[in-house]
Chain A
Amino acid sequence: MSAAGDDGLDEIQGIFFEECAEGLAVAEQGLSAMAGGQVSADVIAGVFRAVHSIKGGSGAFGHMALLAFSHRFENVLDEVRGGAIPPDAAVTGIMLGAFDILSDHVAAAQSGGTPPADAAMLEQLDKLLANKGAAAEPAPAPAEPAPADEFGFAPVAVDLDILDDPFGFEPVAISLDDLAGEPAGGWTVRFGPSRDAMANGGEPILVIRELERMGGQILDADLSALPPLRDLDPEESYCVWTIGLPATIDEADIRECFDFVAPDSLIDIRRQETAPGAAPPKPEPVPEIAPLPAPALRVVETSEPAAPEARPADAPQQTIRVDLSKLDQLLNLIGELVIQGSILSDRLAPADQERVELPQLARLTRQIQDNVMSLRAQPIRQAFSRVPRMLRDLMAATGKQVVLETIGETTEVDKGVLEKIGDPLTHMIRNAVDHGIESPEERLAAGKSAEGTIRLSAEQKGARIIVRVADDGRGIDRARVRAKAIEKGIVSPDAVLSDEEIDNLICAPGFSTAETISNISGRGVGMDVVRSNVEALGGRVEIHSVPGEGTSFTMALPLTLAILDGMIVRLADQRFVLPLSNVVETVQPVAGQVKRVSPGSEVIELRGAYLPMRRASELFAIAEHQRRAPEESVVIIVESGVSGLVGLMIDTIENRREVVIKSLEDNLYPIRGLGGATILGDGSIALILDIDALIVSPGFNKFAPKGMAA
């Protein structure tokens, strides 16, 4: 089945799985819409096409189990599309189930794992097909040896058989009753292309050449049908050739040569002599001039325009597929343009700037930048679309009942951000079902409806995307959370904590309220991972909970990962960028405000509390003589997902601006403590600090083996 052979197949396969993911998202969305009563030809056609594409590629890449399942699923969808199977609630339910298994198949194909058990689902799909058989003609159904067991996947065989098969209608071919199959004599092939065999790009001579290559010889050319010259149409075909072929050739190979011959042509293939005693051949020379196919064709043709199939669901808008790296490059170039703009504005006096209309240029540049960023933006729907499936699984596992409401699915997010919020979102949903939503009995006892609600919403607020998962469950049990945090040593028993602080303990590293790790939340991953993932993106997580009424988790994410809102700070002679999302406040220490508590650690006193503080000059091993005293420095209070509030002492703050992030691994490799670099207006490079990585490095000594400015 390997089609491409070797090189690049993995890469192409990777693209195939991306397409599968897209297709699954489309299918799920469509099926969910159908389940919600929105049944339209467009929706059905969209689901059909998605499954159809998955099937197409799966065969090409040799994922036979996926091929077999998607094939059967597609057959059902085809019937739904054609109206033979009504898309009622029961059918939609089965299709949603089939979708889940299809997703599992895709995952298995991608990971090389074991395909899911799909026998029961296949049976259900077959039942649907069989039932509609009463209503419609059983056309494709018999093509399939029906109930296949798990490994006897009928569809595989079908697809392989039809490989390269000619236009469906048995093209007038007369099959020898070649029961004996003895290669007795040679083959005699009579070939009379139909009149219009040369229409549609057909070229009968190629068939004869191919037969000749197989060892064939033209024995005779019957020109009796040739009209007088004045009536002769050079684009029509009038000859009947008789060709002899060696006995050793397979009939199938000969037949294959006629794959693309016009359907109403004369094709007569027979043994010159059959072995005596073999079954008598059926020697009708069949010069049928396509009496059957032609009318059938016409019927199809005239009836088609009305058929819904003829108008495949139009994409809502025209789209083109662009290599993401091209967009990245474009964004980079615009970054350059922005930087050049700031160089100009640095160098020109305000009056000169006006004179050369620099502000207009800056405005245009900004517009282009926004536009390009919007090119990378995709609806958050893609991330949301995974949720319904997950909820179905969760409901089945917990026995809880949950209704999902989604709001703002069309909110657009940068593709890079989108790719990274899937996991946090998954955890938040799991957390909501696991810990938020009560069991139906508990809910009824509390005077709520048996079904819980999870509201998943997204909206853009300024330069941030706000994604919220809100449930109407029991709310955070603060007494329990507090007890647990004390037990785990996260807070001291006598700590005075606000409700908000207690709620936030859920995201503390190592905290997990589940008494037993449920099979759902699984893997023991807690909300701390959500927080650190989100913060790694330059975002924040907020928790709001009302006992008995519910809990909401809010992620505030940057619009893009390519541009960072940063604070430019100076240390010795070098400039650094601090992500503004980490910055809480800045402090200008007075004498005595910074205290050394041990040789390796210092604290800064802030409104009566002591926060750990690090000197960037020590982190970066700045030469002694260039280090400043605290009173000549600025301490930026940064918030880190891993260690809470920490002071970072730098020399001065220069300004705040958006910077274009350049990755260090493009030409080098990632460096711990740095989130990348950016190019400033004067063309110099400023390193972007990765606060989390900087702060967790114990003692930081490992971080700076090399003198910087020395």
Chain B
Amino acid sequence: MTKLILTVDDSASMRMLLKASLTAQGFRIEGAEDGAEGLERMHEVKPDLLITDINMPKMDGFELIEAVRDVPEFRGTPILVLSTEFSDDKKARARSAGATGWITKPFDAAKLGAAIRRVCP
């Protein structure tokens, strides 16, 4: 079963890059460009995994994660944060918001794939 991943990032190039590298590894990818759209798309596509950026206009990554976790249906959906930030504060915040894991940009496609398989069988 192909896993469906929703990627939320305000940078179109980053979304395309994710799509290109993950599609090549056999994942199906949907995208959204900010937290608000991401939340909407969650309900629409019900992905197996959510990968989100933190710094985004409108709803940021933390808010998105909290909002997603508020939805009973998505309580168990793995959420990976993909961000250039790596401060412990931010990671702790993401964790408390409900993120499953944190990956620092720039990402390596193979490692990202491995990380995804780590949370999403």
Contacts and interface: CB of A to CB of B under 8 A. Distances in A.
Given A13-B13, A159-B86, A167-B101, 5 more contacts: A57-B11, A67-B106, A169-B91, A259-B101, A297-B92
Contacts of A2: 109
Interface in B64-105: 69, 75-80, 83-84, 86-89, 91-96, 98-105
A642 interface: no
Nearest to B85: A52
A300 interface: yes
Contacts of B87: 139-140, 168
26 contacts: A3-B109, A11-B16, A16-B13, A57-B17, A71-B84, A159-B106, A163-B108, A164-B112, A166-B102, A167-B91, A167-B95, A168-B88, A168-B102, A201-B78, A201-B79, A201-B100, A202-B100, A209-B121, A210-B118, A257-B118, A263-B95, A304-B93, A310-B62, A312-B55, A314-B57, A321-B12
B33 interface: yes
Contacts of B75: 199, 201
B73 to A, nearest CB: 12
A164 B104 contact: yes
B21 A168 contact: no
Interface residues of A, number: 71
Contacts, number: 193
Interface in B22-62: 24, 33, 53, 55-58, 60, 62
A56 B105 CA distance: 6
B17, B21, B76, B115: residue with the most chain A Cβ atoms closer than 10 Å: B17
Complex A-B, nearest 9 residue pairs according to Cβ-Cβ distance, in ascending order: A59-B106, A168-B88, A260-B101, A16-B13, A4-B20, A201-B78, A201-B100, A15-B13, A168-B91
A8 interface: yes
Interface of B: 10-14, 16-17, 20-21, 24, 33, 53, 55-58, 60, 62, 69, 75-80, 83-84, 86-89, 91-96, 98-109, 111-112, 114-115, 117-119, 121
Contacts of B111: 163-164
Nearest to A4: B20
B86 A168 contact: yes
Contact of A201 (B11, B77, B104): B77
A312 B114 CA distance: 31
A55 B101 CA distance: 21
B11 A53 contact: yes
Query: B-side binding surface: helix, strand, loop or mixed?
Result: mixed
A351 interface: no
Nearest to B37: A320
Contacts of B101: 166-167, 259-260
A206 interface: yes
Interface string A184-215: 00000000000000111111001101100000
A321 B11 contact: no
A415 B56 CA distance: 25
Given A19-B12, A312-B56, A313-B57, A3 B107 contact: yes
Contacts of A9: 17, 20
A159 B17 CA distance: 18
